[in-house]
């Protein structure tokens, strides 16, 4: 069975949480496409050209350790605006999306550019303040020394860069279900997402 669930939206909206739960429930493979840009960003911060880093990216570069820092988030949104970086990562994501057995991919352009034919599209949002608070709790919970104000500034900056770039900007696909999780618990968001998937599964 080929079945793709595309989940897009801004930082800390709850995309990954929903993607992991849907993948677990239906036995689909899961790709967090943000890790591709984060892995390129890490190499760029180490001095490699971002284009070369994207062309040479190896799946083993995606192990999450150390890729979720604020510095890498910010650099990821910069390298993600480079057209050559994005095009070097398209093939891997498309193949993953259409792999046998079903796939969930979360990111910014999955339902619009990577897999416009996805059977299920979700665009998950929440207010910048709610998202910053969620991300701040995560970062401080894992020992990072940062303020809520600094995280909110990063959220605004990345929202702007991701939405305004010329190549594959973050935008909801016309046929995406928009899910504002600002006032939703994780369970409520998962229930809404799962109902949408359930209605589209092949019988």
- Residue whose Cβ sits closest to ligand CDP: 34
CA distances from 184 to 5, 13, 115 (A): 21, 11, 27
Q: Which of 3, 5, 6, 17 binds ligand CDP (CB under 6 A)?
A: 17
End-to-end C-alpha distance for the chain, whole angstroms: 11
Q: Stretches 21-29, 48-56, 74-82, 95-103: which one binds ligand CDP (CB under 6 A)?
A: 74-82
What binding mask, one character per residue, do residues 30-69 give for ligand CDP by CB under 6 A, x or -?
A: ---xx--xx-------------------------------
Minimum CB separation of residue 200 from ligand CDP in Å reads 21
Site string for ligand CDP, 103-142 (x = CB under 6 A): ---xxxxx-----------------------x---x----
Please state the residue numbers annotated as binding site: 9-17
Considering only residues 173-202, where is the footprint of ligand CDP by CB under 6 A? Answer: 181, 184-186, 189
Q: Is the torsion defined by CA of 97, 113, 21, 71 positive or negative? A: positive
Best CA proximity match to 97, nearest among 119, 82, 76, 79: 119
Among 4, 5, 6, 14, binds ligand CDP (CB under 6 A): 14
Considering only residues 132, 158, 173, 179, which one is a binding residue for ligand CDP as defined by CB under 6 A?
158
Check binding of 80 to ligand CDP (CB under 6 A): yes
Instruction: Pick the binder of ligand CDP from 162, 176, 179, 193 (CB under 6 A).
Output: 162
Positions in the binding site for ligand CDP (CB under 6 A):
9, 11-17, 33-34, 37-38, 73, 76-77, 80, 106-110, 134, 138, 158, 162, 181, 184-186, 189
């Amino acid at each position: 069975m080929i079945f793709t669930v595309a989940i897009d939206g801004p930082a800390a909206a709850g995309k990954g949480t929903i993607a992991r739960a849907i993948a677990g429930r239906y036995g689909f493979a899961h790709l967090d496409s943000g890790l591709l840009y984060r892995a390129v960003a890490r190499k760029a911060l180490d001095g490699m050209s971002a284009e070369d880093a994207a062309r040479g990216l190896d799946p083993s570069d995606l192990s999450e350790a150390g890729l979720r820092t604020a510095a890498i988030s910010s650099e990821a949104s910069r390298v993600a605006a480079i057209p050559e970086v994005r095009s070097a990562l398209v093939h891997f994501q498309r193949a993953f999306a259409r792999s046998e057995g079903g796939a969930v991919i979360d990111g910014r352009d999955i339902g619009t550019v990577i897999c416009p034919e996805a059977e299920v599209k979700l665009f998950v949002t929440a207010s910048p303040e709610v998202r910053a608070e969620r991300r701040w709790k995560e970062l401080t919970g894992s020992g990072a020394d940062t303020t809520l104000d600094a995280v909110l500034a990063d959220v605004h900056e990345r929202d702007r860069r991701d939405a305004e770039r010329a190549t594959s900007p973050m935008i909801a696909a016309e046929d995406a279900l928009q899910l504002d999780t600002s006032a939703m618990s994780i369970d409520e968001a998962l229930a809404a997402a799962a109902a949408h998937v359930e209605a589209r599964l092949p019988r």
